[in-house]
C-alpha cells in the first residue's frame, strides 16, 4: 500500500513564483555580465599599464643603443687665423676638431673622415643653416646634406686638404661614449 502525503500549500501563487524566478534569473544574468565586463576592463587596464611601461623603457634604452651612423656631408674647412681660437664649447681649437650642428651631431661625437677622426666641438651659423650644401648641391641628397666644418691650424693645410678631397662625402658619426672604430680612418 502506498501512502501519499499531501503537500503543504505554497504561500505564493503561480504568477508570484514566475516573477521571482524571472527576477532571480535576471539578477544572475546581470551579475555574470558585470563580472565579465569588470574582468575585461581589468584586462584592458593591465594591458595599458604594460604597454606604457614598455614604451617608457624603450624610450630610455634608445640612447643607450645608439650606434654609429653614416651621413652625407658637405665638408668645408676653417683655420685659426680666420676667427676665434676657441670653440663654442670653450675648448681651444686644434687640428682634429670640427664644427657641426649640435642638433644633428652631439658635441663630443667622433666624426670619421677618410683620412682622420675629428671630435665635434664647435658650431657656427653657416654650419647650422647648411649654407654651403644649399649653394653648391646638385642632387636632392646633396641639397639636404649636413655641413661639417673641419678645423686646420693653417690656411695652407686647409686648402691642401680641400683640393685633395671632394666637397661631398659620406662620414661616419660615432656618438659620445662609443669609441669602436674611432682610431681607424
Q: Phi first, then psi: what are they for 108, rounded to 5°?
A: 95, -15
The region of weakest confidence among 6-10, 26-30, 153-157 is 6-10
**Cα three-residue angle 81-119-112, rounded to 5 degrees:** 110
**The model's pTM:** 0.60
CB proximity list for 165: less than 8 A, separation 6 or greater: 75, 114, 115
The mean pLDDT value of the chain amounts to 78
The pLDDT tens digits for 104-127 are: 999 999 999 999 999 999 998 889
- Mean pLDDT confidence for 152-166: 92
Instruction: Region of 82 please: left (phi>0), alpha (psi -120 to 50) or beta.
Output: alpha
Identify the pLDDT of residue 5.
Answer: 57
Amino acid at each position: 500500500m502506498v501512502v501519499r502525503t499531501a503537500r503543504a500549500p505554497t504561500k505564493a501563487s503561480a504568477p508570484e513564483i514566475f516573477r521571482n524566478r524571472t527576477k532571480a534569473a535576471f539578477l544572475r544574468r546581470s551579475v555574470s555580465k558585470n563580472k565579465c565586463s569588470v574582468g575585461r576592463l581589468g584586462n584592458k587596464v593591465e594591458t595599458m599599464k604594460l604597454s606604457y611601461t614598455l614604451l617608457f623603457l624603450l624610450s630610455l634604452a634608445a640612447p643607450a643603443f645608439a650606434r654609429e651612423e653614416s651621413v652625407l656631408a658637405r665638408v668645408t674647412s676653417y683655420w685659426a687665423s680666420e676667427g676665434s681660437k676657441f670653440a663654442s664649447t670653450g675648448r681651444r681649437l686644434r687640428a682634429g676638431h670640427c664644427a657641426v650642428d649640435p642638433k644633428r651631431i652631439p658635441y663630443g661625437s667622433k666624426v670619421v673622415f677618410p683620412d682622420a677622426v675629428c671630435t665635434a666641438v664647435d658650431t657656427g651659423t653657416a654650419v647650422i643653416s647648411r649654407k654651403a650644401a644649399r649653394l653648391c648641391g646638385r642632387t636632392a641628397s646633396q641639397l639636404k646634406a649636413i655641413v661639417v666644418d673641419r678645423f686646420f691650424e693653417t690656411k695652407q693645410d686647409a686648402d691642401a686638404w680641400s683640393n685633395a678631397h671632394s666637397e661631398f662625402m659620406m662620414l661616419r658619426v660615432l656618438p659620445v661614449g662609443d669609441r669602436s672604430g674611432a682610431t681607424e680612418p
